[in-house]
Structure 1
Amino acid sequence: MSVRAIWLLGLEKGTTSVKLSRRYPTVEKRARNFNGKSYTELPEDKIFLNALLTELDMTELDKNFVEHRDSCCRINRTSVYEIAIGDGVLWPVLVMTQNAILYACLALVEQSLTPRPPLISLRGISPAFALLSGLMTFLNMTQRSEPEITNKMTQISAMLMHACPLGTPTDTDFGLMQTLSGSFVPQNPMSSVQAQKQPAWKPGIYKGKPQVNVCVTEQIRSMQYDKNDVIDVWQEYGTVTCKCDLEGILPTVTVSLNLPINGSPLQDILVHPCVSAVDSTILTFNSVDDVDDSLFNGPYKFPFTPPLDVFKLCYYTSQVPIPPILGSYQMKEEEQNLKITVNLKLHESVKNGFEYCEAHIPFFNRGPIVHAECKVNHGQLEVSREKSLLVWVLGQKFPKSLEVSLTGIVMFPEFGISNHSAQLTDPFCTGLTAYVKLYFRIPDYTLTGCYVDQHSIQVYSSAKPRIITSRELLSSEYYIWNSKGDAPVASRPLVSLRNWE
């Protein structure tokens, strides 16, 4: 679904000119591989212009009979042409005309051109037509004066980087594109900034208030069993997300990740392709290696030229010594009722300030909850609308003791889940195999202590930006399994293993 080249050709006042030409070398390489012996190389723009005008019978010198064009054996197809170039042929060339401008596009054919495949089988035809139609609509919005057309042509050159990156049409509504973004305003050709070539991966230039936003998000997974013969498992991994609204073609930013003196070193670091250089010591540590005092503990510096959109600057893991919340869950079956006990303890080193913190206690394969007699020493307990889940809302803080508990009895109908198909079912969680799942977010906190100091962020741009930094800790697949029943056990940890001491 790609195009090899795009041309806009002018026919004003009896003269012809190439107003815009865009070629895609990566697509051309694919065409050479796909077409094999039937491949024809793209000619120079002037040669293509003359060959196209000859094919369209738009020159005075070509009014005589031309065999390949005028033979009665030829089947004409509206807007799709074969353009003879020397001993070869360019096909399929889509051509549309409006207001003395020829819009031409050569679509990629992902197979041999001999014999000619049916047009309906070519995936690139429809996107190519949509691209030309979008260009025609955009240019038709002008008053058709020469200065305004020239201005529009300058904008199209930049907009094509967004609409057709690397030769693949993705957005063909150029008018809407211009409305939603001010990044396609043509620059002064005498500007020194214009000397920089705009990369293909950055399809536009930001215009507006400069701002840099960096957020460190750490997520913690946990599988806790409260058993002497089973080891609890937890995994911590982080992401640094950036959004840089900076003017200029290639502004440069350097973000530094910092750790406290006792912070857990970052490992398994993966960086975004826009990062220009990274100290080799940052990338050499792997989470499967033994932890020792020789690990690099920062600062971790990442210089980069940012894309326009939100992107992940880097990913990392860390072998943190503790999970933030330690829990135990006991569920015993008494006839059709369940006796449950849940205890949760927040580690003293963890910030006691949550945006939200909830414990969900699901009951599978048992039908709806008929009655629940439960007591909590902190927070509120609710039964879900489906009556198959207890939701323990712990609020924004643990009590001073940092411990909370829930005890009670949950009652179910005598005939199990019959006639209750809407209730939770799980072929794995049967009998006493059950769990509590925690959901929480702690703002302005990370388990490793990793943070970004906004004063350490270096920005090389034409204007001084506003810098915003934040960090957060989120739960992810945080399970506490019933110690009185069976539970899945990780045979080999993916990131880190630690015992509670």
Structure 2
Amino acid sequence: MALRALWVLRHEPRAVLFSRRYPTVEARAEAFNGSTHVAVPSDSDFLKAMLFELRLTDDQSFVEHRDTCTRIDHSSVRSVRVEGGDLWPVVAFQKSGLIYACLPLVEEALEPRPSLLTIPGLSQGLALLFGILDYISPSRKNEAELSAKAGQLRTLIIQACPLGTPLNTNISSLSSSFDDIQVVPTDVKQPAWRSNTYKGKPQVNVCITEKVKCMQYDKRDVVDMWQVYGAVNCKCDIEGAAPNVTLTLNLPTNGSPLQDIFVHHCVTSVDPAMLMSSSVNPLDDSVYSGPYKFPFIPPSESFNLCYYTSQVPVPPILGCYQLIEEGSQLKITVNLKLHESIKNSFEYCEARIPFFNRGPIAHLECKVSYGQLDLSREKSLLVWVIGQKFPKSSEVSLTGTVTFGDIGEEHPTNYVCTGNTAYVKMYFRIPDFTLTGCYVDQHSVQIFTPGKPKITASRELISSDYYIWNSKASAPTMYKSLYY
């Protein structure tokens, strides 16, 4: 999803209020389009061609390629005839005397013309144009304000669409940071991913997010599986065209080593042994225990510095789910135990027990040792809200019976959750906690720039595909032990 060029044009008086071209995207367009490629014309030529295409010129005579009945357009995507040929697909629309247009990248030959549904840049380009419209439109009655906003638009587009890729289509939300953003002078060497600079007090925000995926079966012949997937997100507001930053991820002595580390392209160097630590072969001894140092030149926007996985020794919540069918009733038992290493409070913690392939729950007799039990609106899902804390025993339980009514056409179904093949799915988030123990402190970030930087670090653990399967029935398995 990328744009070759972007324009804001004025009909009366004729003028180009704003334009932005992306040479790197244009080079890709030449490679993809081959002999069908039509180069982006100059701004004056595009303005003339666009006004002609929209019949906004003084000459209103019939022109076959533009006015024939076979060219009745029902969308904002147009073909604009320029000196080099037909420029397509141009996304353009008029509003209050202004014309908003962009030219998305098409990653294939343009003849025969591909389906619009196969060009992802169309929707992104249109969304960006609407964002520009929302930013400019309030100033249309004031010429001075319109001129000022058109001037500011160049700087804001650097943030919203760096290197031709739309990242933020809400242009108005970026205007508040205008005073802190400066365009980098053309004579200053800078990395391609850093298209503007920050002016102000240096500050770095780091957030470590770990997601734990889990499959628990409570069976002797089936091995429970779990793994942690982490991401380190950074936002570095630092002066200079190419500031140098070094961030170190720390682990406690009993922390789980990071594996399968994948770094952002802005990282300038890493220890090769760090990248060699892999979880593919559990017998591999290439475990790297740190330190995990990442020197980099940060992009202007928020980005993920690295991704990693980790084989933690235990999952955060151990569970057992038993479902037994007795006539028209289901007898269910759920036991959950919180691991002793977790001392932090949950932001939320709940267990959801679906019954999709039966009728709506007609009668429910269940009790919980802790928390609150709710029934969904469709009466096909039990929601056990545990809350922010487990009791001192670190164990909670749910027991009871469920009776169902007749199943209807609108009742939700699930191809996996059939018969006794049922599960409990856990949803939780624990702020200021990671299963690996990975953390960043004030001394873990070094910035080679004048001034004392403000370092803000946070971390969190989030459940992701955390299933506890019915131990009284067969369930989808990843691995079976050879020993019974």
Shift of 1:459: 2.2
Shift of 1:235: 1.7
Contact 1:183 1:204 survives alignment (8 Å): no
SS of aligned partner of 1:428 = coil
1:436 counterpart (403, 406, 424): 424
- Work out whether 1:411 is the aligned partner of 2:409: no
Tell me the amino acid that sits aligned with residue 484 of structure 1. Answer: K
SS of aligned partner of 2:414 = coil
Contact 1:381 1:390 survives alignment (8 Å): yes
Q: Residue in 1 aligned with 2:466? A: 478
Change (3 A) 1:221 1:373: same
SS of aligned partner of 1:455 = helix
Q: Residue in 1 aligned with 2:314? A: 322
SS of aligned partner of 2:359 = coil
User: TM-score, length-normalised on structure 2?
Assistant: 0.71
Contact 1:82 1:92 survives alignment (8 Å): yes
Measured against aligned partners, the alpha-carbon deviations of 1:212-246 in whole angstroms (never above 9, x if no partner) come to: 21111111111111111111111211111122233
Q: Residue in 1 aligned with 2:436? A: 448
Contact 2:222 2:479 survives alignment (8 Å): no
Q: d(CA) in 2 for partners of 1:407 and 1:445? A: 30
Change (3 A) 1:137 1:295: same
Contact 2:344 2:432 survives alignment (8 Å): no
Change (3 A) 1:171 1:221: closer
Change (3 A) 1:27 1:373: closer
SS of aligned partner of 2:443 = helix
Q: d(CA) in 2 for partners of 1:399 and 1:278? A: 44
Contact 1:183 1:206 survives alignment (8 Å): no
Tell me the amino acid that sits aligned with residue 470 of structure 1. Answer: S
Q: Residue in 2 aligned with 1:182? A: 178
Shift of 1:468: 0.9
Q: d(CA) in 1 for partners of 2:366 and 2:169? A: 59
Tell me the amino acid that sits aligned with residue 369 of structure 1. Answer: I
Shift of 1:281: 1.5
Shift of 1:362: 1.6
Contact 2:4 2:23 survives alignment (8 Å): no
SS of aligned partner of 2:178 = coil
Gapped runs of 5+ residues in structure 1? Answer: 9-17, 56-73, 95-102, 115-121
SS of aligned partner of 1:265 = coil
User: TM-score, length-normalised on structure 1?
Assistant: 0.68
Q: Residue in 1 aligned with 2:256? A: 264
- Work out whether 1:297 is the aligned partner of 2:289: yes
Tell me the amino acid that sits aligned with residue 476 of structure 2. Answer: P
Tell me the amino acid that sits aligned with residue 217 of structure 1. Answer: T
Shift of 1:41: 8.8
Change (3 A) 1:181 1:364: same
Q: d(CA) in 2 for partners of 1:172 and 1:479? A: 36
Shift of 1:24: 4.6
Measured against aligned partners, the alpha-carbon deviations of 1:424-474 in whole angstroms (never above 9, x if no partner) come to: 322332221111111112221111111111222112345543211111111
Contact 1:256 1:452 survives alignment (8 Å): yes
Matches within 5 A, 1:29-428: 29-30=27-28, 33=31, 158=155, 161=158, 165-166=162-163, 179-182=175-178, 195-197=187-189, 199-207=191-199, 210-290=202-282, 295-351=287-343, 353-408=345-400, 410-413=401-404, 418=406, 420-428=408-416
SS of aligned partner of 1:219 = strand
Shift of 1:402: 1.8
Tell me the amino acid that sits aligned with residue 241 of structure 1. Answer: N
Larger Rg: 1
Shift of 1:81: 9.8
Change (3 A) 1:90 1:7: farther
Change (3 A) 1:106 1:238: closer
SS of aligned partner of 2:230 = strand
Shift of 1:28: 4.9
Contact 1:383 1:390 survives alignment (8 Å): yes
Contact 1:155 1:185 survives alignment (8 Å): no
Q: d(CA) in 2 for partners of 1:140 and 1:488? A: 61
- Work out whether 1:26 is the aligned partner of 2:24: yes
Tell me the amino acid that sits aligned with residue 182 of structure 1. Answer: F
